[in-house]
Structure 1
Amino acid sequence: MKLAEFNSVEPSRARDVLKPCIDVGRWVEAVTAARPFPSKASLLEFASQAAEPFTPAEVEAALAHHPRIGDRPTASTAEASMSRSEQAGVDPSDSGVAEALARGNRDYEEKFGRVFLIRAAGRTAPEILAALESRLSNSPSEEDTIVAQQLREIALLRLEGVISE
C-alpha cells in the first residue's frame, strides 16, 4: 500500500494493514491515530517509538500468532505469508538443522513457557540455531527484554514491507 493511501484510508482499513505486522492493539491504535505521516521514514520512526516498550501482556498476545522457528504456517493470512517469507533461510529439508531447531524449540519452551522468537528475516538457519542455543542460557528477565526487541524488529520489517512511498 502506498503511504498516501495508508494516510487516507478509513481507520478500520489502516488497522487491517497494521495488525499482521504485530497484533498489539495499543500499537495498532497508536499508529493509526498518528496518521497522516509525511514520509515512510516518519511512519517507521513513530511505529518504533510506539513499540517501546511492549508490556509482558502485549508480548504474550503477540507471540500467540508466531509459529515455531522451522514450522511453516499454512494459513493464507497476511501474517502467515509474512512468516513464511521471513523464515526463508530455514530449509525444512535439512534434517539435521530441522531436528536441532525442534529440540531447541522444545528446550526453550520448557524453560521460558513460550515459543522461541527471533527476527528470522536475513538470518540463515545456522545463525538462528546459534542464537537459540545461546539464548537458552539467559535468565527469564534477560529473555523478556530480547523477545520484546525481536518483536519490535519484526513489526518494523513487516511494516516497511507493506507500506511504500
Structure 2
Amino acid sequence: MSHAAPTTLPPIAELNTASATVQDLATAVTLLFEPAPPLVERLFAKRPFSSYGQLIDETEALITDPAKAGFTEAEVLEIINAHPRIGAAKANLSALSLIEQGYKKPEEAAAAAAQQTQQQVSQEDEKTQADLKRLNQEYEAKYGFKFIVFVNGRPRSAIVPVMEERIRDSTVEQEKKTALLDMCHIARDRLKKLNVE
C-alpha cells in the first residue's frame, strides 16, 4: 500500500504553537522518517524545537536507548518497519524513498539507455531486484523486522553485499541499533535535500 507523504515541511515554528496538533507533527515526521506514530507521540511531548535539525537530534537521543525513552519492543519494531523495504515496488515508496533507492528519473533513464542496450539494463535490474527480494526475506526471517540502510546515493546493486554481510555477521540487537541510527542519517539527508533549517 502506498503512503502519500508530503513533499514540503512546514516552518518549524508552526509545530511549536499551542494550536499545533499531533497530526501536524506527524505530517513532518512522515516526510523525514516515514510514518511512525510512537515516535511522533514522544516528539510531540518534547516540543518546542528550534529547528528540524534539533528535532532529528532529539529523535536520535530517544532511539539511542529506546527502553529508557519508554518505547516498548512493539513500538521499536513499528518505527523500524515504517520504512519501505529496499527494492520495494515503486508504488509502495514515498517520493523521497524512490530517489534514495536509486530509481531513475525519466531523463536519467533516457541518458542511460543511450549508453547501454535496454536488454542489458533490464537483465541487470531484474537480477538486482531478485537479489533484494530474496535478501529481504532472509533478513526478516532472521531478525524479525525490515532491513534499513542509509543508501546515500549508492545504486541498489551496491546494497546487495551490504545486506549479505549484515545477514551473515550481525545480531538482532546490532541490527535494531543500526536501523534506528540509519533512519536518522536518512532524515538528515532528506532535510538537507529539502533545504530546510
Please tell me whether residue 80 in structure 1 is matched to residue 94 in structure 2: yes
CA distance in structure 2 between the aligned counterparts of 1:147 and 1:44, rounded to whole angstroms: 15
| Structure 1 match to 2:131 | 100
Identity over the aligned pairs, expressed in percent? Answer: 27
The answer to whether structure 1 residue 143 and structure 2 residue 175 are counterparts is yes
Count of aligned pairs = 162
Partner of 1:70: 87
Distance (whole Å) between structure 1 residues aligned to residue 35 and residue 59 of structure 2: 13
SS, match of residue 118 in structure 1: coil
Deviations 1:111-135 (A, max 9, x none): 2233322223433223311210110
Per the alignment, residue 27 of structure 1 pairs with: 39
CA RMSD after TM alignment: 3.1
Structure 1, unpaired ranges of 5+: none
Q: Does 1:41 align with 2:41?
A: no
Larger radius of gyration: 2
Partner residue in 2 for 1:126: 157
* Higher helix proportion (structure 1 or 2): 2
The Cα of 1:102 is off from its aligned counterpart by: 1.9
Change (3 A) 1:36 1:63: closer
Go from structure 1 to structure 2 and tell me whether the alpha carbon gap of 1:26 and 1:64 turns closer, same or farther (over 3 Å shift).
closer
Task: Using the TM superposition, give the Cα deviation of residue 136 of structure 1 relative to its aligned residue in structure 2, in angstroms.
Answer: 1.0
Rounded Cα–Cα distance in structure 2 between residues aligned with 1:134 and 1:62: 23
Residue of structure 2 equivalent to 1:10 = 20
Which ranges of structure 2 fall in alignment gaps of 5 or more residues?
A: 1-9, 110-120
> Post-superposition shift, 1:159?
5.6
TM-score by length of 1: 0.74
Bigger RCO of structures 1 and 2 (CA < 8 A, at least 6 apart): 1
